[in-house]
Structure formats: structure tokens, C-alpha cells
Amino acid sequence: MTPEQAIEIQLVGEGGEPLPLSGVHFYLLFFTSGRWRYTFAVGPTDGSGKAAVDYATLENERVENGKTALMDYNTKLEDCDREVKIHVLTGEDLEKQLNSARMWYPNTIPEVESKIAHSNNLKIECEDVVVDLRDGMTKALVTCREIGDSILF
């Protein structure tokens, strides 16, 4: 990803129509030479089912994370592949985030619990999408199937 690039994610139903669902969170996965390198949290979606993120936001997060884990965050986003994967968090992903907070970052537990409580991720199942980042804004459609509410914890 380069400073001129950004990505906009739009949830769509199985027929391709926009899915206006707020509160949906994603992972944006970056690769180097086809191998996984970084995962960034993106979202939540707004009332129209859209979420967007730009280079500066992700690069700032990479640099901040590198302050405590330099070797894990030493590859610039510009050195990553142009293809990224979009993954809508599942109930299992959200549960892993909460367990991680409990184990390693107890001061973030209220924030993670609030994120989960206000999330609509449990109402949908979505396919992972791989997109090729272009200059400017790359628009990605993520197809989802509505499944209703579930209780995570």
C-alpha cells in the first residue's frame, strides 16, 4: 500500500445489493511475496454498510505497534504486495480478541467488550475477498448472507 492508496469496503447481499448494516468489523491482511505479513483491524461500518481506511491510518498503526515489537512491524506498507485480503470478523474472531485482552491486555477488556456488544458481525456470514489495491480509492464489495443474532458470551 502506498500513500496514494485507500480502500473502501461495502457490504453487499447475495444479490449484489448494498447491505446497510452498521457496526461490522473487518481484518485487512497484508502479504509480502504472497506470505502473510500484517493484520489490521478496520471498521466499524457506517449505516450504509461501508468502512474505509487510508494508508496514513494503517502506517501510523504499524509504526506505533513497532515501538513495542520492532521486528514484527519492520516492513513498510509500501513493501507489501498490492493484493490484500478482507475478512469480516466472525464470532470466533471476536471471542479470540476478548480472550487475548483477558490474557495480555486486561486494561482493554472494557473496550473489547463494548466493541463486541455494539457489533453486528454475528448477524452475517461473509466470504473473504482479495483485492488488488489501485492508486486512489479501491472499492471492494464483500458479499454477506444474513444469519440473525447470536450470543457470543
Measured CA to CA, the distance from residue 18 to residue 20 in angstroms comes to: 6
Query: Taking 90 as the threshold, does the pLDDT of residue 149 lie above it?
Result: no
| pLDDT tens track for 25-78 | 999 999 999 999 999 999 999 999 999 999 999 999 999 988 887 678 899 999
> Where do we find the cell 509480502?
32
CB atoms within 10 A of CB 86: 21
Q: Work out whether the CA dihedral 143, 126, 86, 117 comes out positive or negative.
A: positive
Higher pLDDT among residues 72 and 140, named by residue: 140
Q: Which amino acid is at 73?
A: Y
pLDDT of residue 148: 67
Query: Taking 90 as the threshold, does the pLDDT of residue 129 lie above it?
Result: yes
Q: Cα torsion for 40, 109, 118, 24, to the nearest 10°? A: 10
Could you give the domains of the chain?
A: 5-90+121-146 (2.60.40.1120)
